[in-house]
Structure 1
Amino acid sequence: MKSFLATVVAFLPLVAAAPTADAGLEKRTPGNVFLCTGSGWGNTCGNFFVGTGGCKPIPEPWRGSVGSAGPDRGALCRLFDASHGDCTGSGLAILESPGNSNLYAGNDAGHKAQFIGCVTCTACQG
């Protein structure tokens, strides 16, 4: 019994110091979009913060050169051309995680993309 008690007392500081499951975790709001100038996630790539509920001009070097793009999980984003700088309408392409690896295909949204708008998506599968 004494050895059991000694073992429990020895491990007590470790258990007491262990972080809870939620320690260090905070609620995250999606809002970053990973952009690349090349298709297939190539060439010049980087993260761009769009946020949710807003519309932003796509910065250089991606403005008019979005070869591939993918938003954070939980976000739904649309690319818009220069005539839709307020991010209204159906957009050139709809993006949800993990994204689209070739925006130059199809309607060539990648060369037309000038603006991006994102919203929080509760039903997205990505």
Structure 2
Amino acid sequence: MRRILCGLGALAAVGALAAPALAATPRVAICHATGSTTNPYVLISPAAPGIVRAHLDHQEDRDVVPPFTFRGTTWSQNWDAAGGDLYDARCEGAAPGGPGGGGDGGGGGETPGF
């Protein structure tokens, strides 16, 4: 019984230390391109580093990403009138700007190292 209590105490301590780090990573709601003709976008909220690393180059740059700042750089993708309308519709609707998307691509240059 003592071993179990010690193990639970250790898990609680690790969880308490990890929780602030997880909470500090900003999440951003984006319209994630699926590649499906019947459901081309879904609303997801990945962590900011995941957006910078993967979503800005995803599905031929079709993800719709509202402007957000991460590590001093402001990022966005396809954030024009059509992308904003899709985002406002909770990512339900037609693809903005045709097959390759539209908008400015955003970002501030090279992907920062993580």
Which structure: greater helix fraction?
2
Larger RCO (alpha carbons 8 Å, 6+ apart): 1
Is the strand fraction higher in 1 or 2?
1
Give the TM-score, by structure 1 length. Answer: 0.36
Give the structure-2-normalised TM-score.
Answer: 0.38
Structure 1 or 2, whichever has the larger Rg, is 1
